[in-house]
């Protein structure tokens, strides 16, 4: 693969495919062209799915679990050995700070292979002996087999991390994959093909087709009748379209979708920790984190102090390109996303929000003026039915609302179509547990945020997803559980 052309990876080899179409990969820092990406057509998706189907019946399926696990360890080590290359590529595509990709994206990208290579070695089987008088002399036992060819559709906010979070367990369970990475962040997914080859992953086990979603590679993949299951991370509206496609052939889906996540800050919290956690949850990765906090509810006695300190924190964030010393906030990923976030900033102002800080695009130096920068932004004063409180913005912004009682704040936190995650800040652990149990979402953090143990169930309630992945839950999705009944 050359650095100027991002090719598909099919059957163990890079290829420009047959559509002949390419599009530009834009650097979010300054709007310049980083590379050209091949846009996959139906034929390319077909080739990739056929390669995956052939590989499924080949050596990958015949290997022992230990052999597959050893190879996946080599994939993880291969990412680590080329750490700087992955880091550069990820930061160029996304604009995120090196410090963030160094501590989260790339190490987690590697860890996703090791964790599931280990987990798959310890899957228990069920066994039932039939010993009633009329059903004597039979034993049932369960086995798990790979589900087949898995279609993986991934987003742009944590490209390597979220893609390998699906590919790691899928391969550990003996499946083969066709990945369609986000059209705006394809590079690390493409680069991983080289690592797969170096690690000894057989051709056809890991395939990548680039392109867009609707009427492009994404839709062609999800509509393909030879794809057995689809795992998707992205917007709820895209999940709706993919679910329709998957209904043809009754194919299984696992969806990790959008969020409008609340943080609940009680007056008896450790305020330093609550401020530090909310700073990260609202502004890390320029707010482009599905688990990010966009609604903050603060108990009235500490409301003014909390707003003042979060404002100071936001105004202290250094905005700059990935390699800038101390940069905490990069640009948004694309012009389209910048337009979307700035529209919400204008909407908040027009609805009468009190703009505590930010609210627009920062002025950057000449070289960076064409980048997709926005200011970290805090609002107060909007009612809970405002679109700013209902719709996922996915930028570095949050709205802070005061509350007076536990019941009130639980109702406010749950007044949303989404249910991905929440955080609760209080030193009273009885209260923390009581409140956590009543928030309708997949994950609640108490006095923390984004503490992720990959063995735990991960996923969203309501419109934030379908199913759970992580630990044994990933193994549930990526295998077919079968019962064998033996008459003795
Ligand atoms: P997106 O839904 O626009 O795109 C995600 C992927 O889907 C891309 O690869 C895109 O090309 C593809 N796609 C789009 N339309 C398609 C179609 N009709 N058929 C098949 N594929 C299609 O999401 P995004 O903008 O890349 O990512 C941001 C969104 O992802 C946010 O809503 C965020 O909350 C969500 N997200 C959720 C989680 C989670 O774990 N719940 C994690 C990260 C991001």
* 179 and 298 belong to one structural domain: no
Per-residue pLDDT tens digits for 74-121? 999 999 999 999 999 999 999 999 999 999 999 999 999 999 999 999
* 182 and 72 belong to one structural domain: yes
Question: How far is the C-alpha of 97 from the C-alpha of 319, rounded, in Å?
Answer: 9
Domain count, the chain: 2
Q: Residue 19 falls within a domain, yes or no?
A: yes
CA–chain centroid gap for 270, Å, is: 29
How is residue 444 written in tokens? Answer: 């609640």
Q: Are 285 and 100 in contact (CB under 8 A)?
A: yes
Average pLDDT over residues 169-195: 98
* 160 and 301 belong to one structural domain: no
Nearest to 165 by CA among 186, 183, 189: 189
CATH of residue 477's domain is 3.40.605.10
- Closest ligand 1 atom to residue 155 Cα is 26
CB atoms within 10 A of CB 10: 26
pLDDT exceeds cutoff 90 at 124: no
Q: Residue 393 falls within a domain, yes or no?
A: yes
Q: Residue 349 falls within a domain, yes or no?
A: yes
Q: How confident is the model at residue 146 (pLDDT cuts 50, 70, 90)?
A: very high
Q: Which of 286, 290, 421, 441 is catalytic?
A: 290
- CA distances to 27, 89, 374, 395 from 370, rounded to whole Å, are 10, 20, 12, 18
* 482 and 400 belong to one structural domain: no
* 242 and 368 belong to one structural domain: no
Q: Are 29 and 368 in contact (CB under 8 A)?
A: yes
b/e code 443-479 from CB counts within 10 Å (16+ = b): bbbbbebbeeebeeebbbbbbbbbbbbbbebbbbbbb
Q: Residue 194 falls within a domain, yes or no?
A: yes
* 393 and 296 belong to one structural domain: yes
pTM over 0.95: yes
pLDDT exceeds cutoff 60 at 198: yes
Q: Residue 277 falls within a domain, yes or no?
A: yes
Stronger pLDDT, 278 or 488, i.e. the higher one: 278
Q: How confident is the model at residue 135 (pLDDT cuts 50, 70, 90)?
A: confident
CATH of residue 329's domain is 3.40.309.10
**Is the minimum distance from the CB of 394 to ligand 1 under 6 angstroms?**
yes
Question: How far is the C-alpha of 467 from the C-alpha of 476, rounded, in Å?
Answer: 10
Average pLDDT over residues 56-70: 94
**Is the minimum distance from the CB of 241 to ligand 1 under 6 angstroms?**
yes
Q: Which of 256, 294, 392, 469 is catalytic?
A: 256
**Is the minimum distance from the CB of 238 to ligand 1 under 6 angstroms?**
yes
Q: What is the DSSP string of 147-199?
A: --EEEEE--SSSHHHHHHHHHHHHHHTT-EEEEE--TT--HHHHHHHHHHHHH
* 251 and 268 belong to one structural domain: no
Average pLDDT over residues 46-50: 98
Q: Specify the 3-state DSSP secondary structure of 202.
A: coil
- What's the domain range around 197? 5-257+464-487
Q: Are 258 and 420 in contact (CB under 8 A)?
A: yes
pLDDT exceeds cutoff 50 at 388: yes
Please report the pLDDT score of residue 197 as a whole number: 98
pLDDT exceeds cutoff 70 at 207: yes
Q: How confident is the model at residue 1 (pLDDT cuts 50, 70, 90)?
A: very low
Active site residue 256: yes
* 281 and 251 belong to one structural domain: no
Strand partners, 261: 293
Nearest to 463 by CA among 264, 288, 239, 154: 239
pLDDT exceeds cutoff 50 at 2: no
Question: Ligand 1 pocket check: which of 93, 224, 238 to mutate, most ligand atoms within 8 Å of Cβ?
Answer: 238
pLDDT exceeds cutoff 80 at 439: yes
Backbone φ, ψ for residue 144 (5° rounding): -115, 130
Mean pLDDT of the residues in the chain: 97
Active site residue 286: no
Question: How far is the C-alpha of 156 from the C-alpha of 234, rounded, in Å?
Answer: 9
* 178 and 301 belong to one structural domain: no
* 469 and 436 belong to one structural domain: no
* 187 and 325 belong to one structural domain: no
Q: Residue 156 falls within a domain, yes or no?
A: yes
pLDDT exceeds cutoff 70 at 3: no
Average pLDDT over residues 21-44: 98
- Closest ligand 1 atom to residue 212 Cα is 11
**Is the minimum distance from the CB of 25 to ligand 1 under 6 angstroms?**
no
Question: Taking each helix axis from N to C terminus, what angle separates 271-283 and 303-315, rounded to the nearest 10 degrees?
Answer: 50
* 359 and 227 belong to one structural domain: no
CB atoms within 10 A of CB 332: 28
Q: Specify the 3-state DSSP secondary structure of 304.
A: helix
Question: How far is the C-alpha of 160 from the C-alpha of 168, rounded, in Å?
Answer: 11
Query: Dihedral of the CA atoms 287, 425, 469, 124 (nearest 10)?
Result: 160
How many angstroms does the Cα of residue 255 sit away from the middle of ligand 1? 10
Q: Residue 459 falls within a domain, yes or no?
A: no
Q: Percent of the chain, pLDDT > 70?
A: 99
Q: Residue 458 falls within a domain, yes or no?
A: no
Per-residue pLDDT tens digits for 240-250? 999 999 999 99
């Amino acid at each position: 693969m050359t650095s100027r052309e991002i090719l598909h990876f099919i059957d163990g080899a890079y290829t420009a495919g047959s559509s002949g179409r390419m599009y530009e990969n834009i650097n979010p820092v300054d709007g310049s062209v980083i590379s050209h990406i091949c846009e996959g057509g139906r034929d390319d998706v077909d080739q990739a799915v056929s390669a995956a189907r052939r590989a499924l019946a080949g050596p990958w399926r015949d290997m022992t679990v230990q052999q597959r696990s050893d190879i996946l360890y080599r994939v993880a080590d291969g990412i680590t050995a080329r750490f700087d290359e992955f880091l550069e590529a990820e930061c160029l595509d996304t604009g995120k700070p090196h410090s963030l990709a160094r501590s989260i994206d790339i190490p987690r990208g590697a860890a996703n292979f090791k964790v599931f290579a280990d987990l798959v070695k310890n899957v228990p089987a069920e066994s039932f002996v039939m010993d009633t008088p009329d059903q004597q002399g039979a034993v049932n036992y369960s086995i798990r087999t790979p589900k087949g060819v898995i279609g993986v559709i991934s987003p742009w906010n944590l490209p390597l991390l979220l893609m390998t979070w699906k590919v790691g367990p899928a391969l550990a369970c003996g499946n083969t994959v066709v990945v369609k990475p986000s059209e705006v962040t394809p590079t690390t997914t493409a680069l991983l093909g080289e690592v797969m080859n170096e690690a000894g992953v057989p051709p056809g086990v890991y395939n990548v087709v680039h392109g867009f979603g609707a009427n492009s590679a994404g839709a062609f993949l999800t509509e393909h009748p030879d794809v057995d299951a689809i795992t998707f991370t992205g917007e709820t509206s895209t999940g709706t379209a993919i679910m329709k496609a998957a209904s043809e052939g009754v194919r299984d889906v696992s969806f990790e979708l959008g969020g409008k996540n609340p943080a609940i800050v009680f007056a008896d919290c450790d305020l330093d920790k609550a401020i530090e956690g909310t700073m990260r949850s609202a502004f890390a990765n320029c707010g482009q984190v599905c688990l990010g906090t966009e609604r903050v509810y603060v108990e009235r006695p500490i409301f003014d102090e909390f707003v003042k300190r979060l404002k100071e924190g936001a105004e202290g964030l250094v905005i700059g390109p990935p390699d800038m010393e101390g940069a905490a906030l990069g640009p948004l990923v694309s012009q389209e996303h910048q337009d979307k976030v700035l529209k919400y900033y204008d909407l908040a102002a027009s609805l009468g929000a009190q703009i505590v800080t930010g609210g627009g695009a920062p002025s950057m130096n000449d070289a960076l003026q064409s980048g997709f920068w926005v200011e970290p932004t805090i609002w107060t004063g909007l009612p809970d039915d405002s679109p700013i409180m209902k719709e996922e913005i996915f930028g570095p912004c949050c709205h802070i609302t005061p509350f007076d009682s536990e019941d009130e704040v639980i109702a406010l936190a749950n007044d949303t179509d989404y249910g991905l995650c929440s955080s609760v800040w209080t030193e009273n652990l009885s209260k923390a547990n009581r409140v956590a149990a009543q928030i309708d979402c997949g994950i609640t953090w108490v006095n923390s945020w984004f503490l992720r143990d990959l063995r735990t169930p991960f996923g969203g309630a309501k419109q934030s997803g379908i199913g759970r992945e992580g630990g044994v839950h990933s193994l549930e999705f990526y295998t077919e559980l079968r019962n064998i009944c033996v008459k003795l």
